[in-house]
């Protein structure tokens, strides 16, 4: 007869933390920026170049993830921990900075299995290590009880003496480029929401699903873009068109996407599109959560490794609004909105 899983209600906070801390690789493996980790009322973190880059984001059960999806996939604590780390590391990356430390707040129902929480800690630690954020470690956090699972992560980073890359620096004549994936996480979400059992998916389709649950932001690309002269940059979390429009408005320009390059981006999505009867271009243009980078570079700058040109930056015409076009025509994909969708 299977044992009933141990729940967080059966442990004290101290007992639960004793299970979590070793999984976060605390202690000797701290980043150099974490001067004092968990154990006191607050952590102490160094600011290596006198400035600190900060980002914070939250995942809430049934809003940002489901414990069980339509196709039968069960979201693990590892998935949620990985994604919580990845999306925040990506925001630091989009400024051209490198992450140095992270703090985590977890709110959970009393019946949450302890092994789910342990898996979440494993996912956080794995994402930091496997995504290439080796200079970052968890400095502390908070545990609390609530009616639903909610994970908030704040990440601190350093520019190492450089200047941040903002959304507002794109200029007419620049090359528009991306690093990382586009549309794959959206295809994975569509598979999760479908009636095709997760066990029936081919390895290629399962990879798309995994990229929704465990995105892979190109963390080496942000600082490299900054060093290479990127004029503007941002994380693609809500879709190429929606986020591109934000960059265009901030810079007062028009981004013109190359339809041929967009078609190239749809190639890995074709099997999922065929299975679901979907348009892969809609995933490329409107799908979020890949956490790639959208950046602009002067035309005479060679794109750094990992970046692919997908269009150009143009000046606005008379009475023309800043925004995104495809081959000169307005793009009509809106992407993800946390409050409208």
Residues 326 and 214 in one domain: yes
Of 31, 3, 234, 53, which Cα lies nearest the Cα of 129? 31
Give the pLDDT band (50/70/90) at residue 338: very low
The average pLDDT across 186-190 equals 98
Write out pLDDT tens, residues 19-28.
Answer: 988 888 654 3
Of 90, 132, 92, which Cα lies nearest the Cα of 236? 90
| pLDDT at residue 333, rounded to an integer | 61
Residues 198 and 325 in one domain: yes
Contact 102, 234 (CB under 8 A): no
Residues 190 and 260 in one domain: yes
Per the structure, how many domains does the chain have?
Answer: 2
Count Cβ atoms below 10 Å from residue 27 Cβ, excluding itself: 10
Reduced DSSP (H G I as helix, E B as strand, rest coil) percent helix, strand, coil of the chain, to 5: 35, 25, 40
Separation of alpha carbons 89 and 31, rounded Å: 15
**Residue 28 falls within a domain, yes or no?**
yes
pTM for this prediction: 0.92
Write out pLDDT tens, residues 29-68.
Answer: 567 888 888 888 898 999 888 999 999 999 999 999 999 9
| pLDDT at residue 334, rounded to an integer | 58
Separation of alpha carbons 108 and 140, rounded Å: 17
Separation of alpha carbons 297 and 225, rounded Å: 9
The average pLDDT across 319-340 equals 77
Distance of CA 311 to the CA centre of its chain: 23
Q: Extract the tokens encoding 152.
A: 């908030």
Q: Say yes or no to pLDDT of 82 above 80.
A: yes
**Residue 337 falls within a domain, yes or no?**
no
Domain end among 109, 141, 158:
158
Domain harbouring 319, CATH code? 3.90.650.10
Residues 201 and 266 in one domain: yes
Contact 186, 287 (CB under 8 A): yes
Residues 130 and 175 in one domain: no
Full domain range(s) for residue 259: 167-330
Residues 118 and 184 in one domain: no
């Amino acid at each position: 007869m299977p044992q009933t899983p141990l729940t967080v209600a059966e442990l004290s906070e101290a007992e639960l933390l004793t299970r979590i801390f070793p999984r976060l690789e605390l202690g000797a493996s701290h980043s150099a920026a974490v001067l004092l980790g968990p154990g006191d009322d607050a952590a102490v973190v160094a600011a290596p170049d006198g400035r600190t880059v900060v980002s914070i984001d939250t995942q809430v059960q049934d809003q940002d993830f489901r414990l069980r999806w339509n196709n039968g996939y069960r979201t693990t604590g590892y998935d949620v921990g990985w994604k919580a780390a990845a999306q925040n590391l990506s925001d630091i990356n989009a400024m051209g900075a490198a992450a140095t430390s992270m703090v985590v707040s977890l709110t959970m129902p009393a019946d949450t299995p302890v092994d789910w929480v342990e898996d979440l800690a494993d996912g956080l630690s794995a994402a930091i290590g496997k995504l290439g954020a080796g200079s970052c470690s968890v400095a502390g956090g908070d545990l609390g009880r609530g009616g639903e699972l909610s994970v908030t992560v704040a990440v601190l980073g350093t520019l190492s003496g450089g200047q941040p890359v903002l959304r507002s620096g794109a200029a007419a004549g620049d090359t528009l480029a991306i690093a990382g994936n586009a549309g794959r996480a959206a295809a994975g979400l569509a598979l999760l929401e479908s009636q095709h059992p997760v066990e029936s998916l081919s390895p290629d389709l399962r990879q798309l699903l995994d990229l929704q649950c465990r995105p892979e932001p190109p963390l080496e690309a942000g600082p490299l873009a900054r060093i290479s002269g990127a004029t503007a940059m941002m994380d693609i979390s809500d879709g190429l068109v929606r986020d591109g429009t934000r960059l265009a408005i901030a810079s007062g320009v028009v981004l013109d996407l190359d339809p041929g390059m967009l078609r190239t981006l749809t190639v890995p999505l074709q099997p999922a599109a065929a299975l679901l009867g979907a348009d892969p271009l809609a995933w490329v243009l409107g799908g979020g959560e890949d956490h790639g980078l959208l950046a602009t570079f002067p035309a005479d700058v060679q794109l750094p490794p990992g970046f692919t040109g997908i269009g150009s930056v143009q000046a606005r015409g008379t009475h023309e609004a800043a925004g995104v076009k495809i081959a000169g025509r307005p793009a009509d994909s809106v992407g993800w909105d946390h409050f409208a969708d």
